[in-house]
């Protein structure tokens, strides 16, 4: 087949465009006035959705960031829960490489972040090494508490004021802990308003040192649920005794807003047929009083977000006042998404559906196009590489992501030749939690065995989500024909809906490629995570799913390669339970190296 030769030629081309893209970004990073390096402000909300229109309710974010910047419409988190997602974000590593896979010890939380040696190996530390002053306020990680905040101190910050457990999500009784001081309780004040004052204070501090560029992280808790926690630890099964989830609490001045807003009634909202796999497929349709409560929950989220909208407005007033906008990048994103009612789910996250993993990323700054929507696939592990590049700091070989092009030229090149990765590695271990009310006797707040490996892949002519659960159930959604993920093509009940061919080949051939890709990704490290097809095909003639579908690879994918599977559902990353591993049991395609064999 001719295609492969062309693909190889294209690979060479891609290499050179990657280089020029790098150069482009470097110029961008070094600023326009000689060596003046840019400031970076990173706003990280908590559990903010893309799919339930939350951004439509924040006109000031629209005015200052979206309309003046680039919206990355295919941005994903890699693990749809707070702490693992934040650790991946700030380290540039997939959760299987941080092994911070949960919100609490033993598998996650701040103590696990520390014991994994990551307190010395994350973004603020590298930025300080690169000559930046670094500041952060808000939630850093879960299980960062009023008891352990100093053992050890979170490294890398010139100034910090952290929200601490068990008061992190307590909207009206938060505890913040500043620099080396003791925690302070803000009983009766709205947590996001408290945070805004702290953020502005750090901006002032940063401005006292005009000789050094700064990084400022602002991490409000909105629109996460309000959580009243009574103890710091406990068995997840006893969570109801330890914590109480209620809808988010807006500031009093916003409590009356949007009286008519409801969760968008998309086709997958509380559908009449079950969807998904495993426990999701067993959910019951929600009765009207449940839906009404969930709509209230939804309104409380967008009301709580109003304080973030105002925080952003105040921030931009200061940036303008100090003439900082021509040399400051502003990132806006969230740790993971959220669902309410889609697939009959109660309010929560932790699933692999688009609602939970597909999230907003908006960037504004010098050289970034205003009002542009970028189509390239990006994920949270790409952000640390992006920020280091902006800072003009060296990249790291152990990053599982790659810098996101921010300039018009860089984005266009990546969109045009597919020179960027087309996939996102999605992974999850442990339990899912219901954050709304429980409506049935057989409903549990904590749902165990919510462990799965998955991938999202979006390329020319295809758009899939593929996953393997720890009980070895499989999921495949063809989002081109089923954007709401209502038909799991790998569930026995949906057999009649399986198309004979996809992308011009039998359905099973596509599955075999996706499974092998996931086989590589579930334990990938560094460049293998970014260029998985090149790991399977070192000759460099397979760069995407379309290339891999060539029939001469049928035997390799369908017969030779081991399949993704689990032997047990675990609450964390227990290697022995995760079936064959690519490094020990996988195969690399070694034929066809000679050009005359390509035919
Ligand atoms: C910020 O911290 C770094 C690393 O400790 C230090 O080199 C730098 O001087 C600090 N900046 C200020 C303004 O104190
Ligand atoms: C608020 O939090 C403090 C601890 O930071 C606690 O002592 C106090 O009882 C809490 N107030 C309420 C109303 O829960
Ligand atoms: C969860 O997984 C474990 C281990 O794989 C299994 O023994 C148990 O039956 C599963 N529980 C449910 C509710 O599926
Ligand atoms: C991840 O951490 C858990 C808890 O400490 C440990 O049991 C497990 O072996 C670790 N997994 C890997 C792959 O290192």
At residue 100, the 3 state secondary structure works out as coil
Q: For 372-430, how does the pLDDT look when each residue is reduced to its tens digit (9 = 90+)? A: 999 999 999 999 999 999 999 999 999 999 999 999 999 999 988 667 899 999 999 99
CB within 8 Å of 516: residues ≥ 6 apart: 536, 548, 557, 561
Both 387 and 430 in one domain: the answer is: no
Q: How many degrees, rounded to 5, is the angle at CA 380 between CA 27 and CA 429?
A: 160
Q: Respond yes or no: is residue 470 known to be catalytic.
A: no
Report the domain count for the chain: 2
Write down the residue that tokens 């909202």 correspond to. Answer: 269
DSSP readout, 340-372? SSBTTPPSB--SSSHHHHB--EEEESTTBPTTE
Distance of CA 383 to the CA centre of its chain: 10
Does 455 fall in a domain? yes
- Write the CATH number for 292: 3.40.720.10
Both 267 and 295 in one domain: the answer is: yes
Closest CA to 473 of 463, 488, 487, 461: 488
Task: Output the ligand 3 site: residues, CB below 6 A.
Answer: 448-449, 568-569
Does 406 fall in a domain? yes
Query: Ligand 3: which residue has its CA nearest to atom 3?
Result: 569
Domain of residue 331, residue span: 10-420
Does 522 fall in a domain? yes
Both 342 and 438 in one domain: the answer is: no
Does 4 fall in a domain? no
DSSP readout, 496-565? GG--SEETTEEHHHHHHHHHHHHHHHTT--THHHH-HHHHH-TTS---SHHHHT-GGGHIIIIIISPPP-
Rounded distance, CA 157 to CA 180, Å? Answer: 11
Q: Which ligand is nearest to the CA of 186?
A: 2
Distance 342 CA to ligand 3 centre (A): 25
Rounded distance, CA 100 to CA 88, Å? Answer: 8
| C-alpha distance from residue 414 to each of 10, 22, 383, 406 (Å) | 13, 12, 16, 10
| 591 C-beta closer than 6 A to ligand 1 | no
Please say whether the beta carbons of 389 and 413 come within 8 A. no
At residue 290, the 3 state secondary structure works out as helix
Question: Counting atoms of ligand 4 from 1, which one is nearest the CA of 107?
Answer: 4
What's the confidence (pLDDT) of residue 36? 87
Dihedral sign from CA coordinates of 367, 368, 372, 375? positive
Both 492 and 552 in one domain: the answer is: yes
Please say whether the beta carbons of 381 and 401 come within 8 A. yes
Q: For 145-198, how does the pLDDT look when each residue is reduced to its tens digit (9 = 90+)? A: 999 999 999 999 999 999 999 999 999 999 999 999 999 999 999 999 999 999
Both 371 and 437 in one domain: the answer is: no
Which parts of the chain have pLDDT scores under 50? 1-23, 25-27, 29-34, 593-599
Rounded distance, CA 391 to CA 213, Å? Answer: 9
What's the confidence (pLDDT) of residue 230? 74
CB within 8 Å of 115: residues ≥ 6 apart: none
What's the confidence (pLDDT) of residue 97? 98
Question: Counting atoms of ligand 3 from 1, which one is nearest the CA of 449?
Answer: 1
| 573 C-beta closer than 6 A to ligand 4 | yes
| 160 C-beta closer than 6 A to ligand 1 | no
How many other CB atoms are found less than 10 A from the CB of residue 188? Answer: 7
Instruction: Report pTM.
Output: 0.93
Does 1 fall in a domain? no
Does 128 fall in a domain? yes
Closest CA to 363 of 99, 24, 38, 8: 38
| 586 C-beta closer than 6 A to ligand 4 | no
Does 180 fall in a domain? yes
Please say whether the beta carbons of 360 and 66 come within 8 A. no
| 53 C-beta closer than 6 A to ligand 2 | no
Rounded distance, CA 35 to CA 428, Å? Answer: 42
> Which domain-ending residue is among 392, 420, 448?
420
CB within 8 Å of 395: residues ≥ 6 apart: 385, 388, 389, 403
| 541 C-beta closer than 6 A to ligand 1 | no
Both 396 and 429 in one domain: the answer is: no
Rounded distance, CA 99 to CA 573, Å? Answer: 7
Distance 47 CA to ligand 3 centre (A): 28
Radius of gyration in angstroms for the set of CA atoms belonging to the chain, rounded to a whole number: 23
> Which domain-ending residue is among 391, 420, 449?
420
């Amino acid at each position: 087949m001719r295609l492969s030769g062309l693909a190889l030629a294209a690979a060479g081309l891609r290499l050179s465009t990657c280089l020029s893209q790098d150069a482009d970004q470097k110029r961008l990073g070094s600023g326009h006035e000689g060596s003046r390096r840019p400031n970076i402000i990173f706003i990280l909300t908590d559990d903010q959705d893309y799919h339930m229109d939350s951004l439509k309710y924040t006109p000031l974010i629209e005015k200052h960031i979206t309309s003046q910047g680039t919206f990355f419409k295919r941005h994903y988190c890699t693990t749809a829960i707070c702490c693992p997602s934040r650790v991946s974000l700030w380290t540039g590593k997939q959760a299987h490489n941080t092994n911070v896979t949960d919100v609490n010890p033993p598998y996650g939380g701040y103590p696990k972040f520390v014991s994994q040696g990551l307190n010395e190996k994350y973004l603020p530390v590298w930025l300080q090494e690169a000559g930046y002053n670094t500041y952060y306020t808000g939630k850093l990680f879960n299980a960062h508490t009023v008891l352990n905040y100093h053992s050890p101190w979170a490294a890398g910050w010139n100034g910090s004021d952290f929200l601490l457990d068990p008061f992190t999500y307590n909207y009206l009784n938060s505890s913040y802990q500043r620099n080396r001081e003791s925690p302070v309780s803000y009983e009766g004040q709205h947590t996001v308003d408290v945070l805004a004052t702290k953020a502005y204070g750090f901006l002032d501090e940063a401005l006292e040192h005009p000789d050094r560029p700064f990084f400022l992280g602002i991490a409000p808790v909105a629109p996460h649920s309000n959580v009243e926690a009574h103890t710091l630890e406990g068995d997840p099964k006893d969570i109801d005794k330890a914590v109480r989830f209620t809808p988010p609490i807006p500031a009093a001045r916003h409590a009356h807003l949007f009286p008519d807003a409801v969760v968008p009634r998309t086709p997958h909202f509380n559908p009449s047929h079950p969807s998904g796999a495993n426990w999701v497929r067993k959910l019951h349709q929600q009765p009207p009083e449940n839906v009404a409560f969930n709509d209230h929950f939804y309104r409380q989220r967008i009301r709580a977000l109003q304080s973030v909208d105002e925080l952003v407005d105040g921030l931009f007033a200061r940036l303008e006042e100090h003439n900082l906008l021509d040399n400051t990048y502003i990132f806006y994103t969230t740790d993971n998404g959220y669902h309410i009612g889609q697939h009959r789910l109660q309010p929560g996250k932790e699933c692999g559906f688009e609602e939970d993993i597909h999230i907003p990323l908006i960037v504004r700054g010098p050289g970034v196009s205003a009002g542009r929507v970028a189509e390239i696939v990006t994920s949270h592990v790409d952000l640390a590489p992006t920020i280091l590049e902006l800072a003009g700091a060296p990249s790291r070989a152990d990053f599982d992501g790659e810098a996101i092009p921010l300039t018009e030229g860089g984005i266009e090149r990546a969109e045009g030749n597919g020179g960027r990765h087309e996939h996102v590695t999605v992974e999850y271990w442990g339990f899912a939690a219901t954050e709304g009310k429980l409506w049935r006797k057989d409903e549990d707040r904590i749902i165990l065995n919510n462990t799965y490996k998955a991938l999202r892949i979006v390329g020319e002519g295809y758009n899939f989500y593929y996953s393997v659960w720890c009980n070895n159930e499989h999921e495949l959604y063809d989002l081109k024909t089923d954007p709401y993920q209502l038909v799991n093509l790998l569930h026995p009940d949906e057999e009649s809906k399986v198309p004979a061919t996809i992308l011009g080949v039998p359905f099973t051939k596509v599955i075999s490629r996706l499974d092998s890709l996931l086989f590589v990704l579930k334990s990938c490290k560094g460049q293998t995570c970014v260029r998985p097809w090149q790991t399977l095909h070192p000759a460099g003639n397979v760069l995407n799913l379309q290339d891999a579908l060539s029939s001469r690879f049928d035997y390799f994918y369908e017969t030779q390669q081991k399949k993704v599977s689990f032997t047990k559902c675990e609450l964390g990353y227990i290697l022995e339970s995760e079936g064959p591993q690519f490094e020990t049991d996988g195969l690399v395609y070694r034929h066809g190296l000679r050009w005359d064999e390509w035919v």
